Structure 1
Amino acid sequence: MCFYDANEMACKCWKWGHFRQHCAKEYRTGETCGMKLVMNRYSLPTKCKICTKIDTKERSIRKEEERIRRWAKEHGRTASIEKAQDDIYAFQLDIQRLIADRDEKRGTLAW
């Protein structure tokens, strides 16, 4: 049970920080036992990579929806609208996968 810093980001996700202290179980110099405990908790003002990707994909969905609204007023743009709808669906699947990854990662550290 070696001690590390834990960094909490603005999106409430976290990541392990620097190694701080060996535990009594580990007797080899320079090695850790493999079990991590939190020594200090720090708040970071930025979002994690996963949340940043989710935000980017949500902006892409809004952009495609705006295009669809604009193209719906024009005639003869059905192929473009269908492609935009397919893109939105793909973005939504990516977002669902990223949310599942984020929730899995959030569940591994109990404060």
Structure 2
Amino acid sequence: MCYYDQTRWICQYWKWGNFRQQCNKEHRTGETCGLKLIYETETVGEQCKVCDAINKKQRRLRKMMDDVSRWQREGGRRATIEKTQADINDLELQINELWRGHVERVNSISY
């Protein structure tokens, strides 16, 4: 039950910060007991890096989908459309994985 700072963003994503106080269960200097408790929470008034990455990938995904729609209307770019659709599928998987990790982190701590 050693105490650590915590950083929390407006999207509720969080990370552990610096070690602040040793609990009475661990008597060796420089060692911690392994159980982390929050000493103080710093709230950051912006989105976390994971949300920024998700937003970036979503913008890229929208652009790719718009490109595919335009190419289908124009016709004649079958190979390019197929390649871009494969890239869209990969990008959707990446976005879903980032969201899964984000939700998992947000739900892993309760007050």
Query: Which structure 2 residues correspond to residues 64-79 of structure 1 after superposition, within 5 A?
Result: 64-79=64-79
CA RMSD of aligned residues (A): 1.4
| Number of equivalent positions | 111
Gaps of 5+ in 2: none
Unmatched 5+ residue regions in structure 1? none
| Distance (Å, rounded) in 2 between the aligned partners of 1:108 and 1:35 | 14
Q: In structure 2, what is the Cα distance between the partners aligned to 1:75 and 1:3?
A: 62
Structural mapping, 1:1-111, within 5 Å: 1-111=1-111
* Matches of 2:29 and 2:77, distance apart in 1: 68
Matched to 2:38, the amino acid is V
Q: Secondary structure at the match of 2:71?
A: helix
Secondary structure at the counterpart of residue 95 of structure 1: helix
Query: Matched residues, percent identical?
Result: 43
CA positional deviation for 1:58: 0.7
**SS of structure 2 residue aligned to 1:29:** coil
Measured in 2, the distance between the counterparts of 1:73 and 1:92 equals 23
State the alpha-carbon separation in 1 of the partners of residues 77 and 49 from structure 2: 36
Other structure's SS at 2:7 match:
strand
State the Cα deviation string for residues 10-58 of structure 1 (Å, max 9, x = none): 2210001121111111101121111100111111133323222211211
Q: Separation in 2 of the partners of 1:12 and 1:93?
A: 22
Instruction: Give the TM-score normalised by structure 2.
Output: 0.89
Superposed structure 1 runs of 4+ greater than 4 Å apart: none
Counterpart residue identity of residue 20, structure 1: R
Q: With structure 1 as the length reference, what TM-score do the two structures score?
A: 0.89
Question: What CA distance in whole angstroms lies between the structure 1 residues aligned with 2:67 and 2:95?
Answer: 20
